[in-house]
Structure 1
Amino acid sequence: MAKTFKTKVNNNFEFEFKKKEVSNLDALQISKSKYHILHNNKPYKTEIIESHFNNKIYKVKVNNSIYNVNIINKLDVLIKELGFTIGTTKHINSIKAPMPGLILDINIEVGQEVKEGDSLLVLEAMKMENVISSPREGIIKTLTVNKGETVLKGQLLIEFQ
């Protein structure tokens, strides 16, 4: 059975490719992210502008047009058929102190919208500064600590709406 990939381009168009078709593609790699491709005797200049390998999301430039491409494999299709979703928002509603320490800096305020990975605060523990980052996108509901305050392990620091 041939391995098949489905792609979704700009969230509008879906295409299906077999591994053999991709292997037989007349493509010449010019640099780390640029390729010259011949398809049906027509040349294409391509460049991978952004790649999020784990999420299988790419931004590709073909000649002078930019496309957002999502690659979907059999496992992704099966997960969808079972009613699960990939990449859903994490349901973490609060952040607690991972260890006892001193709050050195607070980078957020109540009502502020944050993205996953944003720096929320800095906790000093055992003479090391630990940046506490946002585990998800959301809006800060409550901030229960102040700069210069000592916290205990497991103490509530931040709640999300």
Structure 2
Amino acid sequence: METLFMDNSYSVKVDADFDFKLSKDQISSLDLIKTGTNSYHLLKDGVSYHIEILDADFIAGTYTIGINGREHQAVISTPLDELIEKMGFATNSNKNIDSIEAPMPGLILDILVSEGQEVKEEEQLVILEAMKMENIITSPRNGVIKKIAVKKGDAVDKKQLLIEFQ
């Protein structure tokens, strides 16, 4: 059995092309002053930055920030977020998902929808048995079922296509 250790760092991605890690020690050593409800002043390496949090989704870890008047998109994740994603369970927004894949290997016990059916977010779609437990796969968004790629009784692998949306 592998033992996983969580470090005390955050992964930060800004504008999808600039990645870095920040430890809790690095964060606490920043020369950062709160100047308003959502605004801060940061002094780093002798350079002054005016930072504003314009929009925040704490659950998804996504932020729109202004730095010296320029808008940027930032994604902040913890080691736990990264482990959950590595395991195949994403915590991000589900509104653009076009298909559902098996989160783990298992056996399809039941399919609760049919092709062409309109479904609501969180509606039950498939029952997958894995490790002697029944796992109910729910819809990540409102939509219409385009294709069901498995049938009752099928053995599936992790990341195998189960359902496609229109």
Normalising TM by the smaller chain, what interval? 0.5 to 0.7
What is the rounded CA distance, in whole Å, between the counterparts of 1:85 and 1:47 in structure 2? 27
Give the counterpart of 1:30 among 29, 35, 47: 35
Q: Secondary structure at the match of 1:48?
A: strand
Aligned to 1:60: 65
TM-score using structure 1 length:
0.55
What is the rounded CA distance, in whole Å, between the counterparts of 2:81 and 2:89 in structure 1? 10
2:32 aligned with 1:7: no
Give the counterpart of 1:83 among 84, 88, 111: 88
Larger radius of gyration: 1
2:65 aligned with 1:40: no
Contact 1:2 1:19 in 2 (8 A): no
- Partner deviation per Cα, 1:91-146 (whole Å, 9 max, x = no partner): 79435xxxxxxxxxxxxxxxxxxxx8xxxxxxxxxxxxxxxxxx83546x9xxxxx
CA separation of 1:11 and 1:138: change in aligned 2, threshold 3 A: farther
Contact 1:49 1:59 in 2 (8 A): yes
Aligned to 1:70: 75
- Which aligned segments of 4 or more residues in structure 1 are displaced greater than 6 angstroms? none
Unaligned runs of 5+ in 1: 96-115, 117-134, 142-159
Aligned to 1:94: 119
Unaligned runs of 5+ in 2: 1-5, 101-112, 122-139, 147-164
RMSD (CA atoms) = 2.9
What is the rounded CA distance, in whole Å, between the counterparts of 1:45 and 1:54 in structure 2? 25
TM-score using structure 2 length:
0.54
- Partner deviation per Cα, 1:25-65 (whole Å, 9 max, x = no partner): 11111100011110011111110000111111111100021
TM-fit CA distance, 1:13: 1.6
Aligned residues: 105
